[in-house]
Amino acid sequence: EIVLTQSPGTLSLSPGERATLSCRASPIVSSNYLAWYQQKPGQAPRLLIYGASSRATGIPDRFSGTGSRTDFTLTITRLEPEDFAVYYCQQYSSAPLTFGGGTKVEI
């Protein structure tokens, strides 16, 4: 099983600031089969990034993903009020499919 560890658990920032979220995998995620999701209270998750760095349809370019193998990063360059949410990474390179524990981005 691929274990994904997200850090920090909570990120306290202000609108306009830059957010950097980490996702570490053990063992490696092959072929960069790593996705990021955003979840707001009471809502289903929304796909932001797939293939470690490709933005999903309709996702603003302030969201970007980088990384490979064991270290992945989601960056939000300028936080908008609607970006305050919980973010999860997920690997889809091998079963069982697994998620990280999440990072809450709060004001």
Partner 1 sequence: QVHLVESGGGLVKPGGSLRLSCAASGFTFSDYYMSWIRQAPGKGLEWVSYISGTGSSINYGASLKGRFTISRDNAKSSLVLQMNSLRAEDTAVYYCARHSGGYFEPFDFWGQGTLVTVSS
Contact residues for partner 1 (CB under 8 A)?
Answer: 1, 31, 33, 35, 37, 39, 43-47, 50, 56, 88, 90, 92-93, 95-102
Separation between Cα atoms, residue 29 and residue 34, nearest integer Å: 7
CB closer to partner 1 out of 75 and 98: 98
Q: Is 80 exposed, middle or buried (0-12, 13-18, 19+ CB in 10 A)?
A: exposed
Q: What are φ and ψ of residue 12, in 5° steps?
A: -100, 115
- The distance of closest approach from Cβ of residue 84 to partner 1 in the complex, given in angstroms and rounded to an integer, is 17
- The distance of closest approach from Cβ of residue 95 to partner 1 in the complex, given in angstroms and rounded to an integer, is 5
